[in-house]
Amino acid sequence: MPEFIHDQTHQDWLRSQARAQFEFFAASINPDGGFYVLDAKGAPLAFTTQELHTTTRLVHSYSLGKQAGFAGSDAIIDQGVRYLWDGHRDADHGGYAWGVGPDGIQDGRKLAYGHVFVLLAAAAATHVGHPDAAKLLDDIDGILDQHFWDEDAELFVDEYSQDWSQLLPYRGMNANMHGVEALLTAYEVTGNDKYLTRAGRILAFFFDHMAPTYGWRLPEHYSANWTVDVEYAGDPMFKPAGTTPGHSFELGRLLLQYWDLSGRTDATAIRKARCVIYRALEDAWNKTDGGFAYTLRFDGTVDVSNRYWWPLTEAIGALAALMKVDPQPVDQKWYNDCWTFAQKHFIDETGGWIPEIDADGKPDATQFAGKPDIYHAIQGTLLPLVPGVSRLYEEVEGAIT
């Protein structure tokens, strides 16, 4: 592995990895609408339910691909924007359904998690000039304002029934973290200060209040009044019990992106990001075999030891950000260790990352069917290729050509 993140051999390798990922997931297009989930070799799995986060993430990822120079990006972007509007959008009640299929809406819940990804996709499509992006952005902006943004709490609420008549009391970090991601991207694309301001308010809650109180670990689950619910255990993929170190990596990187966009005025931002990122690195890394545990208890001990691809990609992105703004020798060591482990266990010659490994480091399939979408791995690959920690859509232009 390279001594420095900007080593030319490493950069060339990252470009080849990005191209391989874009080529692999280009087969996701379903001619009947939406996208297939692909199996280990890239063949479509039987189409059942199209979930909102998959549609939106492909639009975002291939908008990055278009900027970076991947020639097949427009087909994915077109398919995704069209399916968001004609498939996921609830024509009767407004908003975007979580799950749709050949016969229409299959899971009509209105989730903040899914809706902030619609904002991300709309901003991405706007940046690359998609002709239908403006109406999508205008629609999702209004929905987030009307239903999800809680001005008193300065955070997003989480889940409604399909017709908006019932707001569940659960509140969560995951939707708000991805909300920050989408808000920052929307700010970069539109220049609307509302997005930057809201991102800052969310980050302040987690970094100024939650993280210091909980030993720089980030509680995931909250009650309606935003008190921590230490007993909560929900969907094992989206709302598992305890804390999720992969989210600490993501939110730490997003804090640095916000700090950069807001003029680098907060002298504590790098320290807070580093504290959260390194707490997760040190707690979750399997010191015997490598890789990151999926979830931790509140004292930092391992709860779910399963090792997935996505926390590793997020650690890479977070470390790359730290190395750009506050490089320390230990950052390079962790960065190298993460890529070494990825090459040994997760990076597949077909181009899509293996999503899960068992206790022996072999591919497993207890949580995921086939290979999930490109989103996490492509960001982990592209982020080290660009010089900055914000405005990825601009900085990635021509990166893989």
Closest listed residue to residue 111, CA positions, set 170, 61, 55: 170
Residue with tokens 């492509």: 378
Chain center to CA of 102: 27
Instruction: Give the CA dihedral 85, 86, 90, 94, nearest 10 degrees.
Output: 40
Q: Which two tokens stand for residue 388?
A: 């900055």
Q: One of 60, 130, 147, 247 is an active-site residue; which one?
A: 247
Instruction: Locate the DSSP E strands across 285-334.
Output: 295-296, 302-304, 307-308
Contact call for residues 55 and 88 (beta carbons, < 8 A):
yes
Residue 42 Rama label (left phi>0; alpha psi -120 to 50; beta): left
Would you say 114 and 108 are in contact if contact means Cβ atoms under 8 Å apart?
Answer: no
Residue type, 270: I
Residue (of 181, 99, 94, 185) closest to 140 by Cα position = 94
In three-state secondary structure terms, 192 is: coil
Catalytic residue from among 60, 88, 345, 376: 376
Do 81 and 397 form a contact (C-beta atoms < 8 A)? no
- Whether 345 is catalytic is no
**Torsion angles phi and psi, residue 249, rounded to 5:** -60, -45
Whether 88 is catalytic is no
Q: What one-character DSSP code corresponds to residue 363?
A: B
- Write out the catalytic residue numbers: 247, 376
